[in-house]
Amino acid sequence: MFIQYLGALALALSIASAAPASENLARKYNCLACHQAERRSVGPSYQDIAAQYQDQADAAARVAERIKRGSVGVWGRIPMPPNPRIPDADLEALTAWILEMAE
Domain with 71, as residue range(s), is: 35-103
Structural domain includes residue 75? yes
Structural domain includes residue 25? no
Structural domain includes residue 59? yes
Asked whether the beta carbons of 46 and 74 are under 8 A apart, the reply is: no
Percent of the chain with pLDDT over 70: 80
Instruction: Give the range among 14-23, 29-38, 47-56, 84-93 with minimum mean pLDDT.
Output: 14-23
Round to whole Å and give the CA distance between 23 and 63.
16
Query: pLDDT at position 37, please?
Result: 92
Tell me the mean pLDDT in the region 9-14: 44
Phi/psi region, residue 39 (left: phi>0; alpha: psi -120 to 50; beta: rest), is: beta
CATH code: domain of residue 83: 1.10.760.10
Query: pLDDT at position 92, please?
Result: 94
Tell me the mean pLDDT in the region 42-50: 95
Split into its structural domains, the chain has a count of 1
